[in-house]
Every structure is written in C-alpha cells, then in structure tokens.
Amino acid sequence: MVYNTVSTESVVSRIIRNCKLQDATYADDIYEWINEAVDQLLIRWRLPRTYKKIDITDHVEALPCELVVLDAVVYNGQRLRLGEGILDNKAYPLQPLKKDITTYFSDTTSPEWVNQQDYSILRGLDLTAVDTINTIDFYNIEPGYIKTSFETGSIWIFYKIRKTDKYGLPLIPDIEAAKEGIFYYVAGKLLFSGLKLPNPDVTIGYCDERSSILLKKAKSTIKSMSMEEKESQLQMWNNLIPPQGYYSQFFINAEQPKITG
C-alpha cells in the first residue's frame, strides 16, 4: 500500500547527480523514459477516482485526456450498458444488475482526490437509482471518444486517472524501490543512446536487470493491502457464510453473520 507520492523532480535530480550530466541534451528524453518506467508501475485499482459530466452531440463526445480506466457511465439516473456489438439491435436486452457505485464518493472530503467541478449538482443525483442498468440505450468506446445510442444528452462518467505534478508529469509512488528502479531504467536508456556513465562497470544489461528487480518489488508494495483493507475483505468473506440452520429452516432469518470485536 502506498500513501504518498512524490514529483518526478526527485528522480530527475537523482539521474542528473548520479550520471553526472553536464547539459540538458537528454532532458526531453529523460522525461519520456520516466513515463515509460512509471507505466510499468501502473496499478489500475490504486489510481485515484473522479467523475465528469459529458454532453453528447451527434452520438459522440471526446473522452477526458487524463482517463486511464472507465468504470461506469450514468445516464438519466441509471447505469448505461456497454454495447454488445457493432449493430446492437437490442433483441435481447440485458437484465438489470445491482452495482453500487456510491463508493466513488467516499473521498469527497479531499479535494485532491475528487473532482470538485459540478459537485453540488452531483450531490443531488439520486444514487439509489443508479443500482439498475438502462437496458435500452448503450455506449461504445473508440480511442479518445465515447459513442452512445442516443443522439444528444448528458452523461456522467466515473473513471480513474493518473495523478500528475505541476508540470503535468506523473507522480511517482514514494517508495525507494520505485525511484531507484526508474533511475536504472533511465540509466540503461542513456547508455543505449551513447552516453558514458561515470562507472564503466555499469552496463545496459546490468541496468535492465536492476530496474526489472526494483520495479517488480515496488509494484508488489503498491499492490499490498493495508490493515483496513484486509479487515474489510475479511468482513466481506465472513458475510458470505450462511447463518447456522440457513438451509434447514428454509432461509428464515437469513441475515448474514457480522464480525464483532
């Protein structure tokens, strides 16, 4: 579990210092290589969540540039389903599926994690109505765009983004293994580009091996659950256990057991 992030400036300064760079010739390349290394650390379920209102015109509208994972689309207070195919003649409409997305609002006290734009409008949305799926209309995704079965209308999209610093560069998990792994990844690229590092024993193969090991270690740390998350998962598993006599009493008193203490 990672609780904090740092700017890419901390890694850039480490690269400049350890590689003894004397000019800015490789500056643009370094930032691009850092992005490549961060992509290897991308843990989709750890990304911040946000939402946005989109107005559809002529069945299509552009998606936000910062979108990484699209989790849900809401239209007229209902979940909008993903189209089944190119035609999608709706001969066999999907059955409503219970899917609570109110957890998106668990972080509303933190403006850093929740998009505050139109938040007052969204607070008025009856989220209890979002438990059902609109079985008539649908949407499809093309690179950079969302297309809907209806010509015009407003939708809310719930999605995950990659946090960036003031320069628009991705924030890096505040883990030493991640920062050191990114350094070795960039160092290997610098060697491949013809730059000579201060230590002649540091080869491209050595840098690739070190970056691979360190980035995997950092990724494992990011994926690990906190104690709160472990307790929440245990609660979920425990609630799946039927109470004593559940079947013999023909499902009477079917309340699931709860963890106490």
Per-position pLDDT tens, the chain of length 261: 777 888 888 888 899 898 988 877 888 889 889 888 888 886 666 778 889 999 999 889 999 988 888 988 999 888 888 886 655 544 444 444 444 454 454 444 444 433 444 444 444 444 444 556 666 888 989 889 999 988 899 999 999 888 887 777 778 888 899 999 999 999 999 999 888 888 888 999 999 999 999 999 998 888 887 788 788 778 877 777 777 776 776 666 555 555 544
Containing domain of residue 205, as a range?
A: 5-45+165-223
Instruction: Report the pLDDT value the prediction gives residue 2, as an integer from 0 to 100.
Output: 73
Degrees to nearest 5, angle at CA 207 with 201 and 211: 150
Q: Which residues contact 229 (CB under 8 A, 6 or more apart)?
A: 1
Beta bridge partners of 50: 159
Quickly count: other Cβ atoms within 10 Å of residue 55's Cβ: 9
Residues 113 and 156 in one domain: yes
Rounded to whole angstroms, the Cα distance separating 62 from 243 reads: 49
Residues 52 and 156 in one domain: yes
What's 57's DSSP letter? Answer: B
Please identify which residue in the block is written with the tokens 């007052």.
120
Q: Where are the alpha helices (DSSP H) in 224-257?
A: 227-239
Residues 170 and 243 in one domain: no
The kind and range of the H/E element at 184 are helix 176-192
> Into how many domains does the chain fold?
3
Residues 14 and 91 in one domain: no
What's 233's DSSP letter? Answer: H
Pairing mode of beta strands 5-6, 145-148: unpaired
Rounded to whole angstroms, the Cα distance separating 172 from 154 reads: 34
Residues 68 and 131 in one domain: yes
Residues 52 and 130 in one domain: yes
Rounded to whole angstroms, the Cα distance separating 54 from 119 reads: 14
Q: Which of 112, 129, 161 lies at the terminal end of a domain, its last residue?
A: 161
Instruction: Report the pLDDT value the prediction gives residue 204, as an integer from 0 to 100.
Output: 93
Residues 118 and 15 in one domain: no
Quickly count: other Cβ atoms within 10 Å of residue 202's Cβ: 18
Structure tokens at 178: 């991640």
21-37 as b/e: b if 16+ CB within 10 A: beeeebeeebbebbeeb
Residues 15 and 74 in one domain: no
Residues 59 and 112 in one domain: yes
Rounded to whole angstroms, the Cα distance separating 63 from 7 reads: 26
Residues 76 and 88 in one domain: yes
Q: Amino acid identity of 235?
A: Q
Instruction: Report the pLDDT value the prediction gives residue 181, as an integer from 0 to 100.
Output: 93
Q: Amino acid identity of 151?
A: E
166-182 as b/e: b if 16+ CB within 10 A: eeebbbbbebebbbbbb
